[in-house]
Structure 1
Amino acid sequence: MIGLLTTTFGVSVASALLPLISVELFTIGLVLKGTAIPWWVLTVVIATGQIGGKLLHYYAARGVIRLPRLLRREDRPTGEGRRHRWLASFRASCRHRPVWTSAVLLISATTSLPPFAAIAVIAGWAQVPLATFVSAGFVGRLLRFSALTIAPGVVVAWV
């Protein structure tokens, strides 16, 4: 049971980092195969792994994690150009509208529309507070994966 939970956690972190890996398909396959692990434990493990992986995107966008040279943009002097003013305005908007910011994070984490990977990068870039990112993202991921772990059983019981 511990080995399966460790594998599930690893797949969820890997899928958070690499979009080619689908933790959703893994989850549905795991539930359909049948496991003694309660659905809510799977949900918490997957949501934790997903947020852990997305935190790497978040921190990279904030500049806390130094990316390999291939993935970095050239350092440009920060000035008072249009892009710099727009970013400052966007950051201020996120700071002054925490409910809106949390709602966007929650909706994205739950539905992946817009993709949560992109929102994680934007949240880091906009300097959304870590507590806001983690709490809204974790709740959204809990909702998403709760639905995925419960759905096969509901469909089987209904049919």
Structure 2
Amino acid sequence: MLTWLCITFGVAFGSAVIPVISIEVFVIGLMTSGNSIPWLAVGAVVATGQILGKLLYYLAARGSIRLPEFLHCRLHRERPPSPRRHRWRLRTKKLRGWLDTLRERCHRHPHWMASTYGVSSVVGLPPFMATTVLAGLVRMRMSTFVTAGLLGRFVRFSALAASPAMFAGAFGL
């Protein structure tokens, strides 16, 4: 059982860092495989792995972690002006303005950002990755980030881990 929990932690951490990995599919597969792993333990392990993985994005958005040099140089180097880049700036001007407005609102109403992040950690809408980065950009307190994220992810993945057993019991399987 401990081996499966360690593997689950690794997959949860990996899915938080590399978003194409689906922890939801892994949890359902694990719980339907016949292992006698308690669903609460799976929920706790996945929540911990997910938040530790998302903490990297949060800290990077906050500016506490410096990006690798090859990314840093690419993002901040001076580029010669081009018509294509000018068109792109014009197209994204509205989006950048919206993001600046959103950031300002989050600074003025920190509870709004905490509740949005908490709902996102349970439901997944707005996308949890986006709210994680936004939480770092608006400099949400780390204790709020970790607490709301852990609670929300625990609820989400505990319910997901318990769902195969609930359906099997409901249908007499």
Q: TM-score, normalised by structure 2?
A: 0.79
Give deviations 1:70-112, integer Å, cap 9, x for gaps.
4342179xxxxxx999877655533442332221011111111
Task: Give 1:93's match in structure 2, choosing from 91, 105, 110.
Answer: 105
In 2, the alpha carbon distance for the partners of 1:2 and 1:146 equals 17
Task: Give 1:74's match in structure 2, choosing from 76, 90, 94.
Answer: 76
Relative to 1, partners in 2 of residues 1:60 and 1:36: Cα closer, same or farther, differing over 3 Å? same
- For these two proteins, the number of residue pairs brought into alignment is 153
Cross-structure match for 2:166: 154
Relative to 1, partners in 2 of residues 1:75 and 1:123: Cα closer, same or farther, differing over 3 Å? farther
What stretches of structure 1 move > 3 A for 4+ residues in a row? Answer: 69-72, 83-93
The question of whether the paired residues in 2 share the 8 Å contact of 1:107 and 1:140 is answered with yes
In 2, the alpha carbon distance for the partners of 1:75 and 1:138 equals 37
Deviation, structure 1 residue 69: 3.6
What amino acid is the match of 1:132? Answer: T
Give deviations 1:7-40, integer Å, cap 9, x for gaps.
0000000000111100000000000012222110
Between stretches 118-127 and 65-74, larger displacement belongs to 65-74
What amino acid is the match of 1:154? Answer: M
Relative to 1, partners in 2 of residues 1:85 and 1:29: Cα closer, same or farther, differing over 3 Å? closer
Relative to 1, partners in 2 of residues 1:4 and 1:29: Cα closer, same or farther, differing over 3 Å? same
The question of whether the paired residues in 1 share the 8 Å contact of 2:31 and 2:37 is answered with no
Task: Give 1:125's match in structure 2, choosing from 137, 141, 148.
Answer: 137
What amino acid is the match of 2:53? Answer: G
Relative to 1, partners in 2 of residues 1:87 and 1:152: Cα closer, same or farther, differing over 3 Å? closer
Cross-structure match for 1:60: 60
Cross-structure match for 2:13: 13
Relative to 1, partners in 2 of residues 1:70 and 1:115: Cα closer, same or farther, differing over 3 Å? farther
Structure 2: gaps (5+ residues): 79-94
Relative to 1, partners in 2 of residues 1:74 and 1:33: Cα closer, same or farther, differing over 3 Å? same
- Secondary structure at 1:142's aligned position in 2? helix
In 2, the alpha carbon distance for the partners of 1:130 and 1:7 equals 27
In 2, the alpha carbon distance for the partners of 1:17 and 1:35 equals 27
Aligned-residue Cα RMSD (Å) equals 2.3
Query: Percent sequence identity over matched residues?
Result: 44
Cross-structure match for 1:143: 155
In 2, the alpha carbon distance for the partners of 1:156 and 1:96 equals 48
What amino acid is the match of 1:63? Answer: G
What amino acid is the match of 1:21? Answer: I
Between stretches 48-57 and 142-151, larger displacement belongs to 142-151
